[in-house]
Amino acid sequence: MRKIRLRINGDLYERDVRESKTLLHFLREDVGLTGTKEGCGAGECGACTVFMNGETVNSCLVLAVEADGADLQTIEGETAEDGSLSAVQQAFARHHAVQCGFCTPGMIMTVKDLLQRKPKPTREEVIHGIESNFCRCTGYQQIVEAVLDVTGQLPDSEKEGLKYV
Amino acid sequence: MLHDFAYAAPTAKDEVFSLLAEHGTAAAVLSGGTDLLVNIRSGIARPDYVINLKGVSELAELSFDAGQGLSIGACVTVTKLLADATVRQKYPLLVSAASQLATHQLRNRATIVGNIVTASPCGDMSSPLLCYGAEVELASASGTRTVALQEFITGVKKTVIRPEEIVQRIIVPTTYVGGSGNYLKLKRIKGHDLGVVSVAMLTYATKIRVAIGSAAPTPLLLSEFPIDASAKTIKQAARAAISPIDDVRCTKEYRAFMVEEFIERLLAEVHA
Amino acid sequence: MYETIPADELKTVGRKSPRVDAYEKLTGHAPYVSDMVVSGMLYAAVKQSPHARARIRSIDTSRARELPGVRAVVTGAELDYRVGLYVVDKGILARDEVRHFGEAVAAVAADTLMIAQQAVRLIEVDYELLDPVLHPLKALEKDAPLVHPRLGDYSYMEAAFTPVPGTNIANHTKIRKGDVEKAFAEAEWIIERQYTNPSVQHVPMETHVAIVRWQPNDEVTIWSSAQSPFTLRNLFCTAMKLPHRNVRVIVPYVGGGFGGKAGIGIEPLVAVLSRLSGGRAVKLTASREQEFSLLPCRSQLTYRIKTGVSADGRITGQHMTMYWDSGAYADYAVNVTRASAYSAAGPYEIPNAWVDAYTIYTNKPFGTAYRGFGHVEFHWGIERHMDLVAKVIGMDPVEFRRRNTLKAGCRSLTGELIRENTGSVDKCLDAVCASINYGSLTKQEKERQKRTGMKIGKGVACFHKAPAMPPFTATAVILKMNEDGTVTANLALTDYGQGSYTAIGQIIAERLGFAVEKVKVAFDCDTDREPYDWQTVASKGLILSGNAAILAAEDLLARAYDVASQALRCNQIDLAHDGEKIYVKHHPESAVTFRQMAVGFAYPNGNGIGGPLIGVGRYIAQGLSHLDKATGQGNPALDWTYGAHGMIVEVNEKTGEYNILKVGSAFDVGKVVNPDSVRGQAIGGMMQGLGTAVCEGYIYDEAGHLLNPSFTDNKIPTSVDMPLEIECMVVETAQIDGPYGARGVGEHPMIGVAAALGNCLQQATEAEITHMPMRFEDVWRAIQKREPVDNWITKSPYGSCKSSPQVQGHHPELGC
């Protein structure tokens, strides 16, 4: 066991943690922040994406002890203090960019990171920006539309979506 | 769930060396962790001791000097390499390959050195580094030694690293600075995937350098070609050098075919 | 249940409405079983077989039992239970013999997961290797080893299935319509081909996970990431011989299912571990790798089709043989076989038809339900076949389809009369042809070809599907009015992402005349609290539960009107209501609010009448029948949803690499309830279909080891794999007995996608691909007419892909 001190969503935590515990399991089991999900445990699916010192990481491939002294942000830190949704979350809601919801927390983290790096991404950049995160339900289209809408880039012609024939 | 192991995060190289001397093959070195933790989880690796190098600040250095060239410390992440203006300007082939390596999240953790140390035939950084004539600098309590990258990887997941050693940096000489190049890899989907087969090509002044991944037990560097070499010549050399296998990812037939296809495409870029 | 309400008079149904679960899911607050911890909970781990077929000589668990922290160790020898959905053929753990790679042979419950995993490593199993039977056609040979030598002793659902004891046939479904031999004799063309697809994984992002607490008094609570709480309870109680009242199944949020969580899975194993631990709760979370072999997959299919065509391009007769590779256990595969048999020809009229559909046991991970329930697999065959037949007879593939599509007045394979309101294949086909500008290249496309050097191909695929369910499938909805006049609906249809609860909420709001914000559809299905629902499968949820929701709303209103007529002292016929109150039509100021009546109306003096307002809606499928076992004739279909995909693909003719430029899809959904949900299902399903078309599939070696049980070598599509353009269209031919005319569309978007891709590749390059998936290498081989790869390891058709036989088009008069 080893003592670590870190900041998660602005709050300070100090915990004794097993050296072999991943950051993902630390967040979910030791801290109780279960919004971050495990989809594969092998860095392939992106469901466990969190911010660590301003960069996104797959928390399944980081040891908790490596996060000693780090500043983390998880999905639980995405909403405002009053519980209201962030602009990205609101756009996801508006566009039905959520189905089963299991990839959603990781996806939101990835999108947030993308928008920090590229405040006005093109469609192409959005598609490449979320490549790291598997979503088995939506087929990604409504997620892409949500991201474009957040930044006011969604063409009017695409806002209706379903076509009646 | 990972099995229990002891852990150290030394802040000086000497500490690393003494830990390695103490624990020998029971120790594993962690820099990015994107391979090590996957291997521990799957049971392929079962170290009793994990030594995190990230606390050793000099191993995180990425620097360039006109004499020695580019020095990529053991803990330099792929993202850090990609963001470096000097690298982007002087070593475009490294950028081409690094930007195709896994996902953004992985690139934020994975290290260039780790990609080489893993010694997978499909490691994305091996071929471009071979093209640039990179050398690997190993260090231990008894000093450092430098090995050409070709000699460093000796087989599938095998290198010349001794139990008491770490790779402290990769040195990419300036020999080919000013050259241009590109890296093509065959994937099973358009999204992130390992290279089912890959080719890196670097052209510099009067020379063409070609390296191939996933077509032999180790990444292969072909002998240098003159700048006006024909596709046929390069393809012939490639054909003679490779020994691809059939596996779940591809047949050897298609691997061999795509190596030649990629050579043609890369050469067409050179001539364009 | 269809009410002829013009679309512009509908206030909620058909309009945009946010998902009811958006906030919980977007904030990470939605609780999934994988997130849950129950007090005193232990963790389980499973010992899996490394062999496809072996006799278990002995299992030594002594070292595992001695490990501190281990609370229970169990092997198959101690478990005399058999579980099965339709054929009761499976132990909770392998007993005496393992039947597939990855099968569970022992399990441990311990204080921590790490201890449990350590204990599993200490279990030693002594196996005697046996020759596995891996290929379904080999399994049919006379001297083939039997996967289930005691098949004749198993109980099974006799009304629907026909196992053949002494063979590896778990079920044989027959459809006989007209006279096929006569039709062939009179046909101008007879074309016979064979099509194959491999097993694939569902890949829900949340792996299978269950927590079970089996108390010493035999009361059991199961928390499971499952689709069908009542079927889970029923199968569990049957296997464990427990009264249903003792068992409570709770399903909170579920991270995707796609059919893989439709029945019963790891729950019985977790339950016995709990019982052996003295009633401590036990949690088992499958790893991603275990999803591929411990848990079931989609069955492999080999589909042989022989078609007789008249000189004017009409199908006169068709002989269809399906070999469904069930793997080691029958699970849903027998019903996939049955459902596929009666839909086998796709949405075309076949006047003379003969179908033999076999479910075949082999020593591989077993098949289960997967979105489309067989239709994705056999539409790959039938819709590739339509293009290959069209090519042989020299007709445009779309024209050939148009001549044969099911239209009003046609009869299905089971003799069901197709009516105007059944829906329109033709309208869907027309829509997708327009979407992709079928038949010619636009100026831009021609320029693109020139620029890229790639060849552009366009193709279509049509499809149909009806829910595969017992003819008497039933459900119920309970609608409770809250103190403030809002309502809460309870139902045991689960919403694991499809958006069903959002749609049900809209239907209830519409029928009540309430704002949708006043309606809550409660998450967390609990068999102790929710009314019965059969299963959340088959795209039947919207129709059956939607109808039950309408009936519940009507029941609630009737009870409210009853109270209001007393409170307002008038006839019910004189009353009307809005979202707030019931009022007298001719004296609107005389009104009583729902809030006043919600839990019983109180007069000023304190006297009360009514009591809590609760509406109950029960719905059972109407007019469906079992199929005759000898002929397959009968009425199995609640509704048929028709649709089509059109696709534009560019292909590198030299390398086989291709890009999907556009997919246009159209579905006759009857009535759109929520446009964004329909679109979400449509695009999500299409992409899932593309995954199986492009890259997914199990690959085995000759010993039956699964070689690609993880995301490293079993890729699924990423965002970058989306077609460049997606167009999503709906036709609305109202379903008479659908809620507001709606019919199901959850599974359908996945069907036919692969065939559309194959048809594009053929159109562009002449490549005749008859196996899925279509990796670049497969396309390259097909273009080059090289020997196809069936399996990269074994060179034999155990795994991912099977070869394409030559076109067998011949002219009967020429005698060839």
Examine the fold and report which residue of C262, C285, C308 is the final residue of a domain before the chain moves on. Answer: C285
Q: How far apart are CA C108 and CA C180, in angstroms?
A: 56
Say whether A129 and B103 touch across the interface (CB within 8 A): no
Amino acid C373: pLDDT: 98
Answer whether residue C803 shows pLDDT above 50: no
Note whether residue C260 is domain-resident: yes
Note whether residue A165 is domain-resident: no
**For chain A, what percentages of helix, strand and coil (3-state, to nearest 5) are there?**
35, 20, 45
Cβ–Cβ under 8 Å, residues C753 and C761: no
- Closest-CA residue of chain C to B262: C655
Same domain as C256, residue C218: yes
Same domain as C40, residue C19: no
- The CA distance from C525 to the nearest CA of chain A, in Å, is 15
Note whether residue C351 is domain-resident: no
Same domain as A107, residue A45: no
Same domain as C512, residue C450: no
CATH code of the domain in which C127 resides: 3.90.1170.50
DSSP 8-state class, residue A47: T
Same domain as A58, residue A117: no
Note whether residue A63 is domain-resident: yes
Note whether residue C346 is domain-resident: no
Answer whether residue C696 shows pLDDT above 70: yes
pLDDT, tens digit, 9 for 90 and up, residues B6-45: 999 999 999 999 999 999 999 999 999 999 999 999 999 9
Amino acid A156: pLDDT: 84
- Closest-CA residue of chain B to C45: B1
- Closest-CA residue of chain C to B253: C777
Note whether residue C170 is domain-resident: no
A·B CB contacts under 8 A: 80
Residue-wise burial string across A39-70, b where 16 or more C-beta atoms lie within 10 A, e elsewhere: bbbbbbbbbbbbbbeebbbbbbbbbbbbbeeb
Task: Average the pLDDT over each of C306-315, C491-500, C795-804 and give the range with the smallest value.
Answer: C795-804
Say whether B104 and A113 touch across the interface (CB within 8 A): yes
Note whether residue C148 is domain-resident: no
Same domain as A93, residue A25: no
Amino acid C701: pLDDT: 87
Amino acid C4: pLDDT: 67
pLDDT, tens digit, 9 for 90 and up, residues B121-151: 999 999 999 999 999 999 999 999 999 999 9
Answer whether residue C811 shows pLDDT above 70: no
CATH code of the domain in which A105 resides: 1.10.150.120
Same domain as C710, residue C579: no
Amino acid C6: pLDDT: 85
Pick left, alpha or beta for residue C390 (phi over 0 → left; psi -120 to 50 → alpha; otherwise beta). Answer: alpha
Over chain C, what is the mean pLDDT? 95
Answer whether residue C492 shows pLDDT above 50: yes
Say whether C113 and B258 touch across the interface (CB within 8 A): no
Same domain as C440, residue C492: no
Task: Average the pLDDT over each of A105-114, B180-189, C788-797 and give the range with the smallest value.
Answer: C788-797
Amino acid C806: pLDDT: 33
Distances (CA, A) of C615 to C174, C477, C524, C580, C591: 43, 8, 20, 17, 21
Same domain as C40, residue C25: no
- The verdict on pTM exceeding 0.90 is yes
CATH code of the domain in which C566 resides: 3.30.365.10
Q: How far apart are CA C644 and CA C401, in angstroms?
A: 11
Examine the fold and report which residue of A58, A78, A98 is the final residue of a domain before the chain moves on. Answer: A78
**Nearest CB to C205 within list A41, A95, A136:** A136
Average pLDDT over residues B42-55: 96
Examine the fold and report which residue of C227, C256, C285 is the final residue of a domain before the chain moves on. Answer: C285
Residue C713 — very low, low, confident or very high, per pLDDT cuts 50/70/90? very high
pLDDT, tens digit, 9 for 90 and up, residues C29-83: 999 999 999 999 999 999 999 999 999 999 999 999 999 999 999 999 999 999 9
Say whether B33 and A21 touch across the interface (CB within 8 A): no
Same domain as A139, residue A96: yes
Structure tokens belonging to residue C553: 């709303």
Same domain as A108, residue A69: no
- CB contact set of B175 (below 8 Å; sequence gap of 6+): B69, B132, B133, B204
Whose CA is closest to C350, among C397, C304, C416, C395? C416
Same domain as C535, residue C443: no
pLDDT, tens digit, 9 for 90 and up, residues C514-544: 999 999 999 999 999 999 999 999 999 999 9
Same domain as C423, residue C534: no
The DSSP-derived string for C714-738 is S----GGGS-SEEEEEEE----TTS
Amino acid C810: pLDDT: 33
Residue C702 — very low, low, confident or very high, per pLDDT cuts 50/70/90? confident
Examine the fold and report which residue of C285, C310, C345 is the final residue of a domain before the chain moves on. Answer: C285
Answer whether residue C805 shows pLDDT above 60: no
Amino acid A159: pLDDT: 77
Q: Which long-range contacts (CB under 8 A, 24 or more apart) does C403-408 make?
A: C403/C312, C403/C313, C403/C314, C404/C313, C404/C314, C404/C315, C404/C348, C404/C349, C405/C347, C405/C348, C405/C349, C405/C429, C405/C462, C406/C347, C406/C348, C406/C349, C406/C464, C406/C642, C407/C349
- The CA distance from B99 to the nearest CA of chain A, in Å, is 11
Same domain as A73, residue A13: yes
- Closest-CA residue of chain B to C659: B190
Query: Which strands, in side-by-side order, build the sheet including A55-58?
Result: A11-17, A2-8, A71-73, A49-52, A55-58
Examine the fold and report which residue of A78, A113, A141 is the final residue of a domain before the chain moves on. Answer: A78
Angle ∠(C145,C151,C157) on CA atoms, nearest 5? 140
A82 touches chain C (CB under 8 A): no
Same domain as A8, residue A74: yes
- Into how many domains does chain A fold? 2
- Into how many domains does chain C fold? 3
- The CA distance from B249 to the nearest CA of chain C, in Å, is 7
**Nearest CB to C718 within list B192, B246, B261:** B192
B·C CB contacts under 8 A: 57
Same domain as C93, residue C49: yes
DSSP 8-state class, residue C756: H
Whose CA is closest to C271, among C231, C239, C226, C229? C239
Say whether B6 and A2 touch across the interface (CB within 8 A): no
**Nearest CB to C728 within list A131, A136, A163:** A163
Q: Which residue has the tokens 């209706």?
A: A160
Q: How far apart are CA C290 and CA C815, in angstroms?
A: 53
Same domain as A93, residue A132: yes
Cβ–Cβ under 8 Å, residues C681 and B217: no
Say whether B103 and A131 touch across the interface (CB within 8 A): yes
Say whether C793 and B248 touch across the interface (CB within 8 A): yes
Q: Is C292 helix (H, G, I), strand (E, B) or coil?
A: helix
Amino acid C381: pLDDT: 97
Examine the fold and report which residue of A27, A55, A78 is the final residue of a domain before the chain moves on. Answer: A78
Same domain as A100, residue A71: no
Whose CA is closest to B170, among B31, B52, B36? B31
ipTM above 0.85, yes or no: yes
Same domain as C402, residue C548: no
Note whether residue A14 is domain-resident: yes
C chain contacts of residue A161, beta-carbon cutoff 8 Å: 675-676, 679, 728
Residue C807 — very low, low, confident or very high, per pLDDT cuts 50/70/90? very low
Q: Which residue has the tokens 């512009």?
A: C8
Say whether C675 and A162 touch across the interface (CB within 8 A): yes
Note whether residue C779 is domain-resident: yes
Same domain as C408, residue C442: yes
pLDDT, tens digit, 9 for 90 and up, residues C110-154: 999 999 999 999 999 999 999 999 999 999 999 999 999 999 999
**Nearest CB to B105 within list A22, A42, A57:** A57
C chain contacts of residue B249, beta-carbon cutoff 8 Å: 713, 792
Same domain as A121, residue A63: no
Amino acid B156: pLDDT: 95
Amino acid B46: pLDDT: 95
Q: How far apart are CA C378 and CA C343, in angstroms?
A: 9
Same domain as A109, residue A49: no
Amino acid C2: pLDDT: 65
C616 touches chain B (CB under 8 A): no
Candidates A19, A23, A140, partner chain B, best to mutate (most B CBs within 10 A): A19
Same domain as C763, residue C643: yes
Amino acid C816: pLDDT: 26
CB atoms within 10 A of CB C216: 8
- CB contact set of C28 (below 8 Å; sequence gap of 6+): A33, A34, A35, A36, A74, A75, A76, A78, A104, A105
Note whether residue A163 is domain-resident: no
pLDDT, tens digit, 9 for 90 and up, residues C202-215: 999 999 999 999 99
Note whether residue C633 is domain-resident: no
Which range marks the domain in which residue A121 is found? 87-154
Q: What percent of chain C has pLDDT over 70?
A: 96
Note whether residue C42 is domain-resident: yes
pLDDT, tens digit, 9 for 90 and up, residues C351-389: 999 999 999 999 999 999 999 999 999 999 999 999 999
Which range marks the domain in which residue C487 is found? 7-30+473-620
Average pLDDT over residues B197-215: 97
Same domain as A62, residue A16: yes
